Chain A
Amino acid sequence: MSHKALVIDDEEDFRLIAEDILKSSGFEVFSSKDGAEGLVSAKKFKPDIILLDWKMPKMDGETFCRKLREDSSLKKTPIIMLTVNSKTEAELEALHFGVDDFIAKPYKKEEFLARVRAVLRQSRSV
């Protein structure tokens, strides 16, 4: 069975890129353009992993994280944060809000997939 991934990003280009990479590696991909929509999709599709942009209108990454952790059926879903901030800042923020990993945009296909797989492996072993 293929893994389900949810991509939440307000920018269509970045959704496309993530979708392309994930689909070509056999993921089933859903995407949403903001946190509120993403929350609805998450409840509906129960993804194995969420790729979340940090700066978004309506509901930003931080609020999304908090809301997701409140939902008992979803709170274990691993999250990877996608950010255009420099790495160190992103790292600090990510640790603070219980994000599992972060990837700085723009990313290389190989790095992206490696991180996604590592996080999935980790979440399954817990």
Chain B
Amino acid sequence: MKIGGKFILTTTLLLTGTMTILSYGILASVSAIQKQDLEKQARVVENSAQRVALDALLQKDELQLVSYINFLKAQYPALCYAKIAWNYPPMSQKIELGKLSKSSDIEERRFDIQSPANPNHNVIMQFYVDRSVLKKAMAKSKEKLAQVILRIWGFSIILGALLAWISAWVLTFPLKSLAQVASQVGSGHLGVQLEWNSRDEIGALVYSFNQMSEKLKELDTMKKNFVSSVTHELRSPLGAMISLAALVKDKLSAEETPASKQSLDYLERIEKNAKRLEQFINQLLDAAKIEQGKFTCSPRPADISPIVADIVNLFGPKAKENKIQLSNEIPENSFAMADPDRIRQVFSNLISNALKFTPSNGEIKIKAEKFREGDERFFEFSVQDNGKGMSEEDLKKLFQAFSQGNNGNAQGLSGSERGTGLGLYIVKSIVEAHGGKISVRSSPGQGSVFTFTLKEAKSAI
């Protein structure tokens, strides 16, 4: 539930609660007051009736009493029935006023009034008060009151909800902007700042957020500079070693002594190790770039067949040594949208893997097929071997950085073949940076097929 919704809900609940308690209190006290009022009224009525009865006794005028009681009856509808026993010897008379209703809520009041001059002269008045009439009147006024309360209640709930909505908006507006900016930072736009100056908790939050974002940016730049300076510092001396070894090799190969032959062999070993280290460093740096989202490819129309031919040539001696048949079946003029250096990396990784994990007398095929999807034409390149294959479990982690599975960790691999498990991670990143997809089909003992797609170049330049 959103903050606005919560605010409105709590305000409504709070208002409902207080209004319920308040209206219960008001109605209860109004009832008490009404009851008191009625009793007072009744007493006043009774007193005046008694006084008028006494007057009538003294003046021997029973009509005066009757008319007064009639007047009372008109005034107080609850007084439904009255009986007067007029006893003034020799005259005695019974008068009934009204009708006794069948309501069960009838209360009887009896007054006995004697003349002070002569106790034999008296009037007995019996009043029948219909309580249900009283109750009805009371209920009616309470109902009116309840209606007023209900109206106030509704009005205050609407007003309260409105206020809650406004204050929720005031509160959530900066939070929403903050969330937006935070997600920008999350997606890599470090250093983004939010403009918000308020001297409250939100202002403080925004202030510390801005500082955090700034700090992250600083750290990021530091990290980037670190990577690039490490790149330089690692590659540069290695490069010098490799080049110098090549130069010495050149000079030595001119001589033909046994000593120079051995030196040449050792130099070749130095060179091989340096190259292995260089490749590892390059892979690590590529992986670091991928992690940072700084890994870029610039696809352009490029013929894939010479690239693959070149790699097949490079791996030729090794394939021969292991009696593996390495065949390039990519037709000439296969122009795809590709960054040639990167695609070279892809093929050499896939082919070196296939060579590593295929025993002697195996076969490796590199193929290309064309297909269309909608308006676009694609190439599907594949590197297929009939080597060891992979288990279900290894396949799952195949494209993750540093994952090597069973084959990669095998004891039989020589030092330079052991690798790092970064190869396929980089391959996948390159293919995806080209907008392509990579997939693999393999099962233990059945060999493996790696396939990836690239867009076909519209026109070969």
A residues sitting closer than 8 Å to B (CB atoms) are 11, 13-14, 16-17, 20-21, 55, 84-88, 105-109
Contacts and interface: CB of A to CB of B under 8 A. Distances in A.
Nearest to B249: A109
Contacts of B235: 84, 105
A17 B243 contact: yes
A108 B239 CA distance: 11
A106 B231 contact: no
B341 A55 contact: no
A86 B238 CA distance: 14
A21 B247 CA distance: 8
B136 to A, nearest CB: 96
B281 to A, nearest CB: 10
A55 B238 contact: no
Given A17-B243, A55-B232, A84-B232, A106 B238 contact: yes
Contacts of B250: 109
A55 B230 CA distance: 13
B59 to A, nearest CB: 128
Interface size class of B (residues with CB under 8 A): 20 to 34
User: Chain A CB within 10 Å — which of B237, B240, B297, B298 has the most?
Assistant: B240
B240 A106 contact: yes
A111 to B, nearest CB: 11
Contacts, number: 50
User: Chain A CB within 10 Å — which of B243, B244, B282 has the most?
Assistant: B243
A88 B296 contact: yes
Contacts of B159: none
29 contacts: A13-B244, A14-B240, A16-B244, A17-B240, A17-B243, A17-B244, A17-B247, A20-B247, A21-B247, A55-B232, A84-B232, A84-B235, A85-B231, A86-B341, A87-B341, A88-B298, A88-B339, A88-B341, A88-B342, A105-B235, A105-B236, A105-B240, A106-B239, A106-B243, A106-B246, A106-B278, A109-B246, A109-B247, A109-B250
Nearest to B228: A85
A98 B244 CA distance: 30
Nearest to A16: B244
Nearest to A89: B296
Interface string B210-241: 00000000000000000000011001111110
B242 interface: yes
Q: Which 4 A-B residue pairings sit nearest by Cβ, starting from the closest?
A: A106-B239, A13-B240, A105-B239, A106-B242
A84 B246 CA distance: 17
Contacts of B341: 86-88
Given A14-B243, A86-B341, A106-B278, 19 more contacts: A13-B237, A13-B244, A14-B240, A17-B240, A20-B247, A21-B247, A84-B231, A84-B232, A84-B235, A84-B236, A85-B231, A87-B341, A88-B298, A105-B235, A105-B236, A106-B238, A106-B240, A106-B246, A109-B250
Contacts of B231: 84-85
Contacts of A105: 235-236, 239-240, 243
Interface in B6-44: none
Nearest to B236: A84
Interface in B287-340: 296-298, 339
Contacts of A85: 231
Contacts of B246: 106, 108-109
A16 B239 CA distance: 13
Contacts of A55: 232
User: Chain A CB within 10 Å — which of B235, B282, B342 has the most?
Assistant: B235
Interface in B95-152: none
Interface in B342-359: 342
Contacts of A107: 243
Contacts of B242: 106
Contacts of A11: 236, 240
Interface in B238-285: 238-240, 242-244, 246-247, 250, 278, 282, 285
Contacts of B247: 17, 20-21, 109
Contacts of A87: 341
A55 B242 CA distance: 20
